[in-house]
Amino acid sequence: MSKIPTVQLYYPEGGMVRVNEDRADVWRDKGWLDEPPKTRPKPNLKAVGKKSGDE
């Protein structure tokens, strides 16, 4: 049994997937990239306000 070549693709908003090389074009057409995005998405930050205990 031979190994099927795979490639890693990255989504611009974060995330990675490993797919078979022969199906990679389908994923690329949907917006997946060959290299990870240069900037990482910002995590959901809580609203800035008073900390508990601050008066």
Q: What pTM does this model have?
A: 0.61
In this predicted structure, the answer to whether residue 35 has a pLDDT above a threshold of 60 is yes
Assess if residue 24 is contained within a domain.
Answer: yes
Containing structural domain, residue 15: 1-37
Assess if residue 27 is contained within a domain.
Answer: yes
Assess if residue 14 is contained within a domain.
Answer: yes
Assess if residue 49 is contained within a domain.
Answer: no
* 3-class state of residue 10 by DSSP: strand
- Pick from 10, 55, 19: which is nearest to 37 by CA? 10
Task: Render pLDDT for 9-20 as a digit per residue (tens, 0 to 9).
Answer: 999 888 899 999
Number of domains in the chain: 1
CA distance 9 to 11: 7
Where are the alpha helices (H) located in the chain, listed in sequence order?
Answer: 24-29
Task: Render pLDDT for 19-32 as a digit per residue (tens, 0 to 9).
Answer: 999 999 999 999 99
Assess if residue 45 is contained within a domain.
Answer: no
Assess if residue 48 is contained within a domain.
Answer: no
